[in-house]
Amino acid sequence: MSEHTTLSDLEAARNNTRDAAAQLESVETIESASDGQRQIPAADAPATEEPADAGPAIETLSMQQALNRALSETLEADPKAMVLGEDVGQLGGVFRITDGLQRKYGENRVFDTPLAESGILGMSVGLAMAGYHPIPEVQFDGFAYPAVNQIICQVGRMNYRSRGKLPMPITLRVPSFGGIRAPEHHGESLEALFAHVPGLKVVSPSSPHEAYHLLKFAAGRPDPVVFMEPKSRYWQKGPVDTAGTGYSPEGARVVREGRHLTLVAWGAMVARCVQVAELAAEDGIDIEVLDLRWLKPIDAEALAASVTKTRRAVVVHEAPLTSGLGAEVAALITQHCFATLKAPVERVTGFDVPYPSGDLEDEYIPNIDRILFGIQRVLEYRRG
């Protein structure tokens, strides 16, 4: 079994233990890991193995399956929900997220559009004005650019323009971020762009469990939500507690508790930060990992609570540094924790360069060493 699957399992198991089933056996694994004994499940531990007392609601799903399930249940429960986009119908989407939905719910509710992203979003606005709850897909992050005019000028403003008479219950799914050696415009991180637009909300899941619940939650909101799916994490499997016992889809979430420093991340970077935290534990540094989840609104209270405790913070994202969301996170932490912070908030991010071709992806995306360097800078910082 490859390393990333194992870590995904660990991370997903951790998500579950924190939120849903504190009694799960894997709690011990997690807690001992944070004590510096790095305990990754054995390499041959099957991903499908469920904790003995997990109960029937826990299933092992990939994020692709979890999203598909969430969409299906949304279409089932909400007769006004509909899925539209390029190749989402018979093909089931290029990542198979909408697989089988058209067969199940018909061509009126799950349909292929012509190849025009501005058209997809503009049409969604009209559908929403007519009382529907569109869940449009933009096939890849970079394909959202042609739709930016509709997203900013229409999706984000119609509620305001109409004095609340024309809400925009649109969940825009965008396969996002990098890491899959794809062509140009298939690896972009647009969260800062979306988060900057008044009227939009932005969320990104980091695991199958989060994906399932956050998508169902987002699709039920009366406001537009940009749902950024980390496409490099589509296929790793992890436990999903479909009952969602004790799960809250709002705000940020601690995925690993720690005392010395807070790593803030979202999407695919959460798993990497958990890796880093395990490595840091070998050096006696106890790191808390905070999955921000909601990139707008940002859970400032969760940031404050975590950093008040750890007094140090590093924020990690794939998007370029300048005017990235890390700047917003740093500002919020500084505002809330200025008196007790031991060091300025460090940002470990992509560079201010266009997202590179596959060969250079690993040079661009924050890697373990760069995150460790960022942590070290914070640890070394001395006032005065």
- Residue 244 contacts another protein per CB under 8 A: no
Q: Are the CB atoms for 291 and 213 separated by under 8 Å?
A: no
Smaller CB separation from another protein, 22 or 368: 368
Q: How far apart are CA 112 and CA 242, in angstroms?
A: 29
Report the catalytic residues: 186
How remote is the C-alpha of 334 from its chain's centroid? 23
Least CB distance to another protein at residue 88 (A)? 9
Q: Quote the Cα angle for 7-192-354, to 5°.
A: 80
Least CB distance to another protein at residue 354 (A)? 7
User: Which of 196, 148, 192 shows the shortest CA–CA distance to 172?
Assistant: 148
Smaller CB separation from another protein, 3 or 49: 3
- Residue 183 contacts another protein per CB under 8 A: yes
- Residue 179 contacts another protein per CB under 8 A: yes
Smaller CB separation from another protein, 20 or 348: 348
Query: What residues from 2 to 61 belong to the interface with another protein (CB under 8 A)?
Result: 2-5, 7
- Residue 309 contacts another protein per CB under 8 A: no
- Residue 258 contacts another protein per CB under 8 A: no
Q: Which of 19-27, 50-58, 220-228, 231-239 is the region at the interface with another protein (rule: CB under 8 A)?
A: 231-239
Least CB distance to another protein at residue 52 (A)? 24
Q: Are the CB atoms for 314 and 345 separated by under 8 Å?
A: yes
Q: Name the strands in the sheet holding 253-256, side by side, starting at the edge strand that comes first in the sequence.
A: 253-256, 287-291, 261-265, 313-320, 346-350
- Considering only 74, 236, 262, 306, the residue that binds another protein (CB under 8 A) is 236
Beta strands in 63-142 (DSSP E): 81-85, 110-112, 133-137
End-to-end CA distance of the chain: 49
Q: How far apart are CA 10 and CA 238, in angstroms?
A: 8
- Residue 308 contacts another protein per CB under 8 A: no
Q: How far apart are CA 30 and CA 9, in angstroms?
A: 11
Least CB distance to another protein at residue 119 (A)? 7
- Considering only 22, 91, 243, 331, the residue that binds another protein (CB under 8 A) is 91
Q: How far apart are CA 251 and CA 253, in angstroms?
A: 7
Least CB distance to another protein at residue 79 (A)? 25
Query: What residues from 98 to 137 belong to the interface with another protein (CB under 8 A)?
Result: 112, 114-116, 118-119
Q: Which helix (H) or strand (E) holds 172?
A: strand 171-176
Q: Which of 24-32, 165-173, 226-234, 242-250 is the region at the interface with another protein (rule: CB under 8 A)?
A: 226-234
Q: How far apart are CA 207 and CA 314, in angstroms?
A: 21
Query: What residues from 259 to 278 belong to the interface with another protein (CB under 8 A)?
Result: 260, 272, 275, 278
Smaller CB separation from another protein, 32 or 90: 90
Query: What residues from 312 to 371 belong to the interface with another protein (CB under 8 A)?
Result: 321-322, 342, 351-354, 356-360, 362-364, 367-370
- Considering only 53, 184, 250, 301, the residue that binds another protein (CB under 8 A) is 184
Indicate left, alpha or beta for 286 from its phi (over 0: left) and psi (-120 to 50: alpha): beta
Smaller CB separation from another protein, 248 or 322: 322
Smaller CB separation from another protein, 142 or 267: 142
Q: How many CB atoms lie within 10 A of CB 329?
A: 26
Whole-number Cα distances in Å, 250 to 81, 221, 293: 21, 12, 8
Smaller CB separation from another protein, 89 or 224: 89
Whether cis (ω within 30° of 0) applies to the bond prior to 183 is no
- Residue 142 contacts another protein per CB under 8 A: yes
